Amino acid sequence: MDFTLILVIIVLVSGVIYGLDLLFFKKRRGDQPPGIIIDYSRSFFPVLFLVLVLRSFLFEPFQIPSGSMLPTLKIGDFILVNKFDYGLRLPVVGTTVWEVGEPERGDVMVFKYPADPRINFIKRVVAVPGDVVEYRDKTLFVNGVMQPLRPAEPDGSLELPALTEEWVEELGTSAHRIWRRTTAGRSLGPIQVPEGQYFVLGDNRDNSNDSRVWGFVDDSLIVGRAFAVWMHWDALFSLPSFSDVRVIQ
């Protein structure tokens, strides 16, 4: 279910009832108490409207459901997404009403899955409109230039799966860790990114459903830039942890 759509509908309905009460119903009932529907609308509308504004235009929380962004993001990480960096967008429809900035190479971006916009995905932007991108021999090339790679120094935060190596990839101003399996992998390109589109990859390069599979991300599907992990929660009956609060690289 689309939570934002439900929230918009509730805010709209409660706002209309609240407005009608101020204009008409309040005068008619005099000193009589309002009915339960009007009372709830008056109580909830200001709070829900504030939540809608914050979620739609400033910040929105998300939970990481899969391991496609390992080692950067773990399953169970709760992240904050900046909705303002890429411009103010109308909730539900995603239309930009105020241009602020655009996604850059290296950004970790949340967007609606092109094959099913009801689902939110998170991947790393590796190529922007006009770029020529190629993924060959498990190495990323942008505009014909191989993006720098170096073996990562172990930090002990995660245990590497079998047949997996950890590397540091430099992309734009971003230096981030990625996982690559030592077995053969998928290759793609070279292919040019169309205007208004973005090419994205998961940091867990051989275990990610990304642009190599379903293509580009359209600008209208963008939700925002993930910038921080604020909590980790492994399972429903476990305790949440705040020991790994960090900025997303």
Say if residue 186 is in the same domain as residue 223: yes
Q: Is residue 152 domain-shared with residue 116, that is, in the same domain?
A: yes
pTM here is 0.82
Catalytic-labelled residue, pool 41, 68, 208, 211: 68
CB 90 within 8 A of CB 3: no
**For residue 180, is pLDDT > 60?**
yes
Q: Residue 163 and residue 170: Cα distance in Å, rounded?
A: 23
One domain, residues 152 and 241: yes
Under the banding of pLDDT at 50, 70 and 90, the label for residue 98 is confident
Q: Do 169 and 149 belong to one domain?
A: yes
Is there a single domain that holds both residue 106 and residue 157?
yes
136 lies in the same domain as 193: yes
**Same structural domain, 136 and 239:** yes
Q: Which of the residues 41, 83, 112, 123 is marked catalytic?
A: 123
pLDDT of residue 110: 95
Annotated catalytic residue 123 = yes
pLDDT digits (tens, 9 = 90+) for 147-166: 999 999 888 778 898 999 99
Tell me, yes or no, whether 121 and 97 share the same domain. Answer: yes
Residues 81 and 10 in one domain: no
Domains in the chain: how many in total? 2
pLDDT digits (tens, 9 = 90+) for 238-249: 888 998 899 998
CB 48 within 8 A of CB 14: yes
Say if residue 79 is exposed, middle or buried (CB neighbours under 10 Å; 0-12, 13-18, 19+): buried
Backbone Cα Rg of the chain: 22
- Indicate whether 213 and 98 sit together in one domain: yes
Burial 175-210 (b: 16+ CB within 10 A, else e): ebbbbbbeeeeeeeeebebeeebbbbbbbbbbbbeb
138 is a catalytic site residue = no
139 and 98 belong to one structural domain: yes
Judgement on whether residues 7 and 87 belong to the same structural domain of the protein: no
Q: Which domain holds residue 8?
A: 3-57
Whether 103 and 221 have beta carbons less than 8 Å apart is answered as no
Highest-confidence segment of 21-25, 31-35, 192-196, 230-234: 192-196
CATH number (domain holding residue 101): 2.10.109.10
38 pLDDT more than 80? yes
pLDDT, residue 84, reads 87
80 vs 63: CA distance, rounded Å: 9
More confident residue, 58 or 206: 206
User: What is the mean predicted confidence (pLDDT) over 195-217?
Assistant: 96
